[in-house]
A and B are shown apart, each in its own frame.
Chain A
Amino acid sequence: MSNHLKNLKLKIWRQSGPTDSGHFENYVMDEISDEASFLEMLDVLNEGLIGENKLPVVFDHDCREGICGTCSLMINGQAHGPERSTATCQLHMRKFKSGDEIVIEPWRASAFPIIKDLMVDRSAFDRIIESGGFITAPTGGAPDANLIPIPKTVADAAMDASQCIGCGACVAACPNGAANLFTGAKIAHLNLLPQGQAERFKRTEAMVETMDEYFGSCTNHGECEAACPKEISIDVIALMNKDYRKSKLKNRKEISRT
């Protein structure tokens, strides 16, 4: 049966808009079931704030199944909170105890400007994908799906990388605000597959350089892997770096050929 946590002290970042300087506000949650999810706890808080004629805390969330990547939150300084391989929406209050102080902040990264309170703008991720995170295969002309066998190990490795939910925890956890895990995951997914070979080096060069326009540089802290709710390995960064180095040579050759 469920137990109840009592007297939680919440310290939440409030910021009315992108130009506001923002501040922490303290709230007390008298009681909450340990079966509640973390975001349900915030729902209860917000319902109470509306009851008091106050503005509820704005935060991004949607599927609450850990797959859409909409939710975020730095919880006690950790991206997505204390539980490993778990997005905020899948974190449950049974991981906390009565009397705990919980500090809740938005993703902290200059590439993710704050929209309001805990909600940030992660469009820079879309710009990276738009620059090359795809295989050019217009609808209609695809050959039979079994024409090119893909060894199971290759398909599995591509799948490991493609599980990225685009939440931005890697960037938020990184002391440099780098997006190498996100970018590397997409590059690894597509560059590992036979279908992705034709654009392999063009893709890598374009995506890495778009990433560099918005995000900080990677200095191999590895915080990203620890924060990733899908446990994507930093091996994908090594693969990206290897292909990026090659791309400089290969893409130049290609240009000189045309």
Chain B
Amino acid sequence: MTITFNSKIPAGAIGDKWATYKEDAKLVAPGNKRKFKVIVVGTGLAGASAAATMAELGYQVDVFTFHDSPRRAHSIAAQGGINAAKNYQGDGDSVHRLFYDTIKGGDFRSRESNVHRLAEVSVNIIDQMVAQGVPFAREYGGLLDNRSFGGAQVSRTFYARGQTGQQLLLGAYQQLARQIGLGNVRMFNRTELVDVVTVDDRCAGIVTRDLVNGEVVSHAAHAVVMATGGYGNVFYLSTNAMACNVTAAWRAHRKGAAFANPCYTQIHPTCIPQSDPTQSKLTLMSESLRNDGRVWVPTNADESRSADQVPEAERDYILERLYPSYGNLAPRDVSSRAAKRAVDAGLGVGPLKNGVYLDFSDAVNRLGKDVVEERYGNLFQMYERIAGENPYDVPMRIYPATHYTMGGLWVDYELMTNIPGLYAAGEANFSDHGANRLGASALMQGLADGYFVLPYTIGNYLAPMLNKPIPGTDHPAFKEAELAATARYQGYVDIKGSRSPDYFHREVGRIIWDYCGMERTQQGLEKALSELPALYEEFQKDLRVTGDAESMNQTLEKAGRVDDFFQLGMLMCRDALEREESCGGHFRAEYQTDEGEALRDDEKFAHVAAWEWTGDPTKSIRHSEELNFEAIHLATRSYK
């Protein structure tokens, strides 16, 4: 397949593009919608909202999740909130300001037209979710409450205690459940995508594996939506749920879908530091805590007193000192690097000296314990449960950890990959966050894609296909993919080596974190690119999966996912190596200002890198899509 990158951005002024698109888009008549089958893979915010909405419109929808229930998707763990340009606080917010903040937050590496659309539909999301009964936080008068978040100077974040993701996902899940109950959606749970099938350069469907009995089955459709989340677990330790993986997106990539900007990964500044080597997962503490918590480290590396005994004069409030106008609410990448530098300089706190303090004593004194508890009660409880310390008395210890991946499948304005009929939504695509995502914008993007973008753009693709036959699952391309998938999983069992998939996952994660993590260098990336293929070869020779491929086998599931993480990891390092600049979450030590801030190279790198699969992950071909900034001038990102 030859790759073409037509981003299909509608003509006209930035504020008119989406309206123009919707006016011009082809429609499928209500009675004809049932003639189309759409597959949605993933049931997080993007997947559940897309599936529910398309089923409401009348399409036949098949939905797949590897979880036992669609309600488990990892969107559920988002804590802090969801942005929307409602300007309910009358503090100067607008669609344009949200658009601007998102472009700037993304360090000028996202596509203007997509981001503007996101800001436009953000207001509809809040209306929709309230109509569905999402119990957002409210003022005593009954109106919706807002809080502020990193990278913004207005309060535009809607929240439901520290469980906003849970409440939004349950809203979308319930809407999906209604459609399942009505028979408009067929739900396949505990079923994992193992391949994407293309026929005549068009996406014809998918091949799945039933996790309970290992059965490999084909599913044909007119269009397929990948709402399969991000790839943060390539780092092994991350705040992602244990089962989050890149397999669905990666299998699409291997079938011709370009993978864009894999090196744009986000490190979240406020996670609980690792306490023990057996730890397999890091826990995030919502960024909203930075509204009232102050980040500091002792000025003396040998500080041995407990936090409350360290006098003010011997504390360095690093974010307030470095970024006075945003203070503790500086964006995630900026805050993360400040913490890393403090720890690298030996100023870290805690038994392993691997964290910085997030201190609420001022907030407790100023607002009272009750108010602090009202705002963050469940987060404080969660911290105490994990760290065994009470944050009302002792400052939290936090450290950055991988949290979100901005890169993903390349999509055009319609959220279609370069394979016609294959769409990607939510974290699985690359489209809206550039090189860095602002807090409370992931939930916004997932729901925008699923509720308000895909249902329009898919119709535009399907309309001309009315009454034309599509390849069925008896097509040789499906049979070939089924055989390949069966052989692949049997292959892992047959290696009969000596090391578990978890062993290899830890090893690949360590290499990626060390060399393609918070700070990257040419030398380090080259080292990673020499170590990874060797380790991958060992994986292919020495993997051990006990049990068989015909029954529930969690080790086998893991093996397939780790295999794909290896391949993605190599691509990430190549992408990071070739992007000779620093931007957002991609920080190359060679490219920084005298003050240690990211130094972009707009001459050479104001573009999206979209990678083409060649069969060897170290030899992928780099294509690019130029980014044009017409509504917003390229500027150095400053939060001082």
- List the interface of chain A (C-beta within 8 A of B): 1-2, 16-17, 32-33, 35-37, 40-41, 43-44, 46-47, 49-51, 53-56, 58, 60-70, 83, 85-86, 90, 92, 94, 115-116, 119, 121-123, 125-126, 129-131, 133-140, 142-146, 149-152, 155-156, 158-159, 162-163, 165-166, 189-190, 193, 195-196
Contact among A67, A116, A130, A149 for B141, CB-based, below 8 A: A149
When the two chains form their complex, are residues A125 and B69 in contact, meaning their CB atoms are under 8 A apart?
yes
> Which DSSP category, helix, strand, loop or mixed, fits chain A's interface?
loop
| CB of A136 to closest CB in B, whole Å | 7
Q: Restricting to B478-515, which residues have a CB under 8 Å from any CB of A?
A: 500, 502-503
| Chain B residues closer than 8 Å to A53, beta-carbon distance | 544, 546
In the complex, identify which listed stretch (B288-296, B432-440, B521-529, B551-559) lies at the interface while the others stay far away.
B551-559
| Chain B residues closer than 8 Å to A65, beta-carbon distance | 77, 283-284, 382
| CB of A183 to closest CB in B, whole Å | 13
| Chain B residues closer than 8 Å to A195, beta-carbon distance | 130-133
When the two chains form their complex, are residues B142 and A149 in contact, meaning their CB atoms are under 8 A apart?
yes
In the complex, identify which listed stretch (B177-185, B414-422, B621-629) lies at the interface while the others stay far away.
B177-185
When the two chains form their complex, are residues B385 and A86 in contact, meaning their CB atoms are under 8 A apart?
yes
- Nearest B residue (CB) for A39: B280
When the two chains form their complex, are residues A152 and B138 in contact, meaning their CB atoms are under 8 A apart?
yes
Complex alpha-carbon distance, A146 and B56, angstroms = 25
Query: Known contacts A50-B546, A67-B163; is A193 also within 8 Å of B133 by CB?
Result: yes
When the two chains form their complex, are residues A47 and B163 in contact, meaning their CB atoms are under 8 A apart?
no
In the complex, identify which listed stretch (B121-129, B331-339, B396-404) lies at the interface while the others stay far away.
B121-129
When the two chains form their complex, are residues A155 and B137 in contact, meaning their CB atoms are under 8 A apart?
yes
Contact among A40, A133, A155 for B138, CB-based, below 8 A: A155
In the complex, identify which listed stretch (B271-279, B341-349, B361-369, B593-601) lies at the interface while the others stay far away.
B271-279
When the two chains form their complex, are residues B278 and A130 in contact, meaning their CB atoms are under 8 A apart?
no
CB<8 Å pairs between A and B, sample of 27: A35-B276, A35-B279, A40-B280, A47-B502, A58-B554, A62-B67, A63-B241, A64-B280, A64-B281, A68-B73, A70-B67, A86-B385, A123-B69, A130-B180, A133-B174, A136-B178, A139-B52, A142-B130, A144-B127, A146-B144, A149-B143, A150-B138, A152-B140, A155-B138, A156-B135, A195-B131, A195-B133
When the two chains form their complex, are residues A43 and B502 in contact, meaning their CB atoms are under 8 A apart?
yes
Complex alpha-carbon distance, A60 and B66, angstroms = 12
| Chain B residues closer than 8 Å to A37, beta-carbon distance | 279
Query: Known contacts A33-B276, A159-B135; is A63 also within 8 Å of B143 by CB?
Result: no
Contact among B72, B138, B283, B500 for A50, CB-based, below 8 A: B500
Query: Known contacts A61-B242, A92-B386; is A152 also within 8 Å of B142 by CB?
Result: yes
- List the interface of chain B (C-beta within 8 A of A): 49, 52-53, 56, 67-74, 76-77, 86, 88, 124, 126-133, 135-144, 160-161, 163, 165-167, 170, 173-175, 177-178, 180-181, 187, 189, 212, 241-243, 275-276, 278-281, 283-284, 351, 381-382, 385-386, 388, 451-452, 455, 500, 502-503, 544, 546-547, 551-552, 554-555
Query: Known contacts A47-B500, A122-B69; is A133 also within 8 Å of B131 by CB?
Result: no
Contact among B133, B139, B275 for A135, CB-based, below 8 A: B133
Contact among A60, A137, A151 for B128, CB-based, below 8 A: A137
| CB of B507 to closest CB in A, whole Å | 14
Point out which of A51, A129, A156 has the most chain B C-beta atoms below 10 A from its C-beta: A129
When the two chains form their complex, are residues A122 and B166 in contact, meaning their CB atoms are under 8 A apart?
no
| Chain A residues closer than 8 Å to B76, beta-carbon distance | 63, 67-68
Contact among A17, A62, A155, A156 for B241, CB-based, below 8 A: A62
Query: Known contacts A70-B72, A138-B56, A158-B133; is A43 also within 8 Å of B166 by CB?
Result: no
When the two chains form their complex, are residues A189 and B133 in contact, meaning their CB atoms are under 8 A apart?
yes
- Nearest B residue (CB) for A44: B278
| CB of A239 to closest CB in B, whole Å | 15
| CB of B64 to closest CB in A, whole Å | 15
Contact among A17, A56, A69, A193 for B551, CB-based, below 8 A: A17
| CB of B85 to closest CB in A, whole Å | 13
| Chain B residues closer than 8 Å to A94, beta-carbon distance | 388
| Chain A residues closer than 8 Å to B547, beta-carbon distance | 55
Complex alpha-carbon distance, A254 and B72, angstroms = 36
| Chain B residues closer than 8 Å to A162, beta-carbon distance | 133, 135, 167, 170
| Chain A residues closer than 8 Å to B135, beta-carbon distance | 155-156, 158-159, 162, 189, 193
